Amino acid sequence: MVRFDIVSQGEELVSGSTTDTNATWICAELKERGFTAGWVTVVGDELDGIRDALASAARRARIVICTGGLGPTSDDLTTDAAALAFQLGTAEDPVALGQIEERYRSRNRPMPPANRKQAILPTGAVLLENQWGTAPGYWLDVDGCRLYFLPGVPSEMKRMFAHHVLPDLAARYALPPRRTVQLRCIGLAESEAGQRMQDFPLPGVTIGYRAHLPEIHVKLHLEPGVDAGPVIAEARRRLGDYVFTVDGGPLPAVVGALLTERGETVATAESCTAGRIAADFTSVPGASAWYVGGAVVYANAEKVRQCGVDPAVLEECGAVSEPVARALAEGIRERTGATWGLGVTGIAGPSGGTPEKPVGTVHIAVAGPDGTTHRRLKLPFDRARNLQMSTALAEDLLLRRLDGR
């Protein structure tokens, strides 16, 4: 069990203005590969503090990932702190300087004098080129611990980590080359996914879970030589038809890809979700190829005007009912001429519930060339999450018509 520590550096992280999401990301990456998480130490722009945090992390762990504090300004103190912590000198690294100068040259801008500071590394540091920003990274070996220093900007940090740190760790710890398969589920809680995957019978598989609400992602990490086919089949058997894609994208993107492939379109008529499905669909670049638009029918009068819902049905069954959901889906399909129509009506809460129709009651319907399907949801969450789940399950109801689940 090889232990890693993280030292996250930056005044913004301890002043309350920024949350340290870098540490979460690094922890997930290293845990998935079998390393043991030690401490995450978050420290502001304070030379002695960074020095002490680095020194104690290096005593505790064999791998230390340090992010932040490599910039050109006077409050970027990480390199000075590392030199103090491990009694090293510092010197300008000509290769690092060349890389920084080259980055400015390629953008036709002169290098500001302040950036020269970023080429100063502790003695013995091994340079890690940063192709995505000006701050070079490096590693340093101290008494059996390797400390990796990466910039704090998340996009740069992640690329440096994938490009430099992971290959180095794979070589040092003989990490087996892995294949990872990702199953995305909708409508299943993370704990339920965990229970269904318990005592997974096939060897050579490590299972990880991540909640990207409303989706739950189940990751299967396969050791070398493990045949993916039977592993995926067994996982699908256990997770059931909650799995809407293997190694595909987010739910609206999967819907969009299938519609594009089929040359079909969809329109939406939303009451309680009020534009959330429309917003979700149009978060996919290029959605105009398959998403037409639709209606937000928050008021009952709009359900009648925009989708032709029969006022007598509204009166008799209420706005939150199966016939109204079906009428919304069918009405918007007919009026827009889209291949598919999606209708949603429900009570998201916190108020508006009755004994017969409690908060969380949502009716979703999909109208298509071969008829209309309907589903009644009983959601147990708060308003925001009820709306989020209604949106996703309505999209999933359409996807089930498309993929035949």
Rounded distance, CA 65 to CA 54, Å?
10
User: Mask: binding to its own copies, 370-389, rule CB under 8 A, as x and -?
Assistant: -------------xx-----
38 vs 72 by CB, closer to its own copies: 38
3-class DSSP state for residue 42? strand
Pick one of 19, 123, 131, 191: the residue that binds its own copies (CB under 8 A): 19
49 vs 72 by CB, closer to its own copies: 49
Piece of the chain touching its own copies by CB under 8 A; list 37-45, 67-75, 135-143, 147-155: 37-45
Pick one of 70, 231, 292, 325: the residue that binds its own copies (CB under 8 A): 292
Pick one of 198, 351, 355, 369: the residue that binds its own copies (CB under 8 A): 351
Pick one of 159, 335, 375, 385: the residue that binds its own copies (CB under 8 A): 335
86 vs 291 by CB, closer to its own copies: 291
Give the number of residues in contact with its own copies, rule: CB under 8 A: 70
Q: Should residue 24 be labelled a site residue for its own copies when binding is judged by CB under 8 A?
A: yes
Pick one of 2, 97, 228, 274: the residue that binds its own copies (CB under 8 A): 274
Pick one of 129, 234, 241, 302: the residue that binds its own copies (CB under 8 A): 302
Q: In degrees to the nearest 10, what's the CA dihedral of 147, 153, 158, 161?
A: -20
Pick one of 197, 226, 255, 277: the residue that binds its own copies (CB under 8 A): 277
Residues 6 or more apart whose Cβ sits within 8 Å of residue 168:
139, 146, 148
Instruction: Give the Cα-Cα-Cα angle 384, 255, 290 (nearest 5 degrees).
Output: 105
Piece of the chain touching its own copies by CB under 8 A; list 132-140, 225-233, 291-299, 392-400: 291-299
Q: Should residue 306 be labelled a site residue for its own copies when binding is judged by CB under 8 A?
A: yes
Which residues from 191-230 bind its own copies, rule CB under 8 A? 209-211
What are the b/e assignments for 369-399, b being 16+ CB within 10 Å? eeebbbbebebeeebebbbbbbbbbbbbbbb
User: Mask: binding to its own copies, 136-175, rule CB under 8 A, as x and -?
Assistant: ----------------------------------------
Shortest reach from residue 65's CB to its own copies, in Å? 12
DSSP letter for each residue of 152-220: SSHHHHHHHIIIIIHHHHHHHTTPPP-EEEEEEEES--HHHHHHHHTT--SSSEEEEEEEETTEEEEEE
Are the C-beta atoms of residues 132 and 159 closer than 8 Å to each other? yes
Instruction: Give the Cα-Cα-Cα angle 138, 141, 147 (nearest 5 degrees).
Output: 55
Here the tokens at position 386 are 């009820």
Are the C-beta atoms of residues 14 and 44 closer than 8 Å to each other? yes
Instruction: Output phi, psi for 291, to 5 deg.
Output: -110, 125
Rounded distance, CA 143 to CA 85, Å?
12
Burial of 155 (0-12, 13-18, 19+ CB in 10 A): exposed
3-class DSSP state for residue 83? helix
Piece of the chain touching its own copies by CB under 8 A; list 221-229, 277-285, 360-368, 371-379: 277-285
Piece of the chain touching its own copies by CB under 8 A; list 32-40, 135-143, 222-230, 320-328: 32-40
Q: Should residue 47 be labelled a site residue for its own copies when binding is judged by CB under 8 A?
A: no
100 vs 359 by CB, closer to its own copies: 359
Displacement of CA 243 from its chain's centroid (Å)? 17
Rounded distance, CA 362 to CA 325, Å?
9
The site for its own copies (CB under 8 A) is made up of: 13-21, 23-32, 37-44, 49, 53, 56, 209-211, 268, 270, 272-279, 281-283, 285-288, 291-299, 301-302, 305-306, 335-337, 350-351, 383-384
